[in-house]
Structure 1
């Protein structure tokens, strides 16, 4: 395998920690991009990668995204991410989670983890038996911060979609706005329900076609095959599955003039931001619009660490600031004739001292 230092997505990461536990069979990667603002915070992804190099790339890109996400959300947290390499059967055992918890504890607080794709809050409870550096744990009091961060991510993306519609379509309502949603897992399904309540016209797709069909029936929406969603004639395309979907092949064929969704690393390469800009597409940088979950996770962790209460209301207030950050990015993008993604990157880099 090529040296980590030579990979295109290596961006002066502080630590790339390779974990292997022979007894449990755990193989994982913990990447810390920057701890300039605080401990690296970011969820753990449980995924089967066809090649281990892909797992390394994922960890590098996701951890860098978390640095930017936390900085833009105004959180005193750095950027980190973990990926657990699943086998083809998705085998996940208590022993693996225990070994993973030990690996996090061994970093001495430089990394704080939570749920991500393939990981549940129950898994995080298991990990928390071996390390204190875990957030997103279930709470008994519904008014307190904590629990599954997915709904907070959905709510932030919902607010971001509305802001993007206001920017691109010059309307404060999403009623009758046609929105194509790619991925209806935890975040995408929550987003779909919120938009349906506002009268939006949805087209849904997911790699699990039955899941998309069931949600479409529930909401009175359309659904299409997962490989057809990017060709749908809509006002908004909302990617909420895995990343690297926007590239030189897919961008020219996009019919929507707005892209706003919760998927991480939507651009296959940084230079693809310029293609969106040239096509006049209003783009909501992913790590800005999808920050709701990490806002919840970070405030929960900081409250526990400092012994101070933090309510769900406080979390929602912070999530509610996502549209104002997007508007500032779009304003500067227009003033400087610069892609929104590049504007956001420059803002984030300045905040973590890497301008």
Structure 2
């Protein structure tokens, strides 16, 4: 950790000059006087140079190790495609940097395991941008769980569904580079926030089914066009996670699914004393057949990315704030892998 009294600004480098690096990471770092963006790297040098010019960054690179050796950053944001998270995070940790990595942690649980152990050995902060858990709604429900408001929560339903929201940019339809489709892209977010609110209960068994029925037949949707001939990820995946405490978490996720709503991103919790929905936070129970509201927000907190980035930097500065750390990232990666494995094999996967 760094001392909060550090006099000179911490040096920040960004690996991957895409949309999330532009709109989230660089935009946040630019708001802080105690941070200085010194370098950016992308496999396409022209894109890195354009990114550097937009954000006033003095150096652009095409090679990660050259960036680390020459720019000597204290902090690195890894915003490269999923396929490269492992090598970029490991290189940054090896260079003595604190790391904020976009989700998912990696392509396999084995990689995520090595990443968490490397961070521990280097005594550096490794955080993942599971930003939905940083909404104040999530913290309110987490506190309610800890206070016993719900009693035993025995059914949780997490949904990350799009009617036709296949990303028409990047590598989101390329399984070799992305690792999968909606589960590893958007489903992982609702999975993480559900597990966070529940307190990361131990998982016993995972069962899942996946489908590819629409993405190879259509070629356009709300997020642009894609090539159906090169669509190699799932359209949708539906899974059930069984906990050792007897509860279950149902996860529904899709890029393309014939539902009424254009998009659903939410989690519902059912406990013996009360239930809740997450976005916006609403806690309720039944009184003589009528819905009784215990707590309700009118609008969900939309500052999630900001809070995630801020928590990471504060943690680097030595403050004991919550982050989505390497240990929890490893757990989430194991669940994603187990869901894909179950769907592929057509049988349950036991984790304990």
Q: Same fold (TM over 0.5)?
A: no
TM-score between the two structures when normalised by the length of structure 2: 0.38
Greater fraction of residues in helix: 1
Greater Cα radius of gyration, structure 1 or 2: 2
TM-score between the two structures when normalised by the length of structure 1: 0.38
Greater fraction of residues in strand: 2
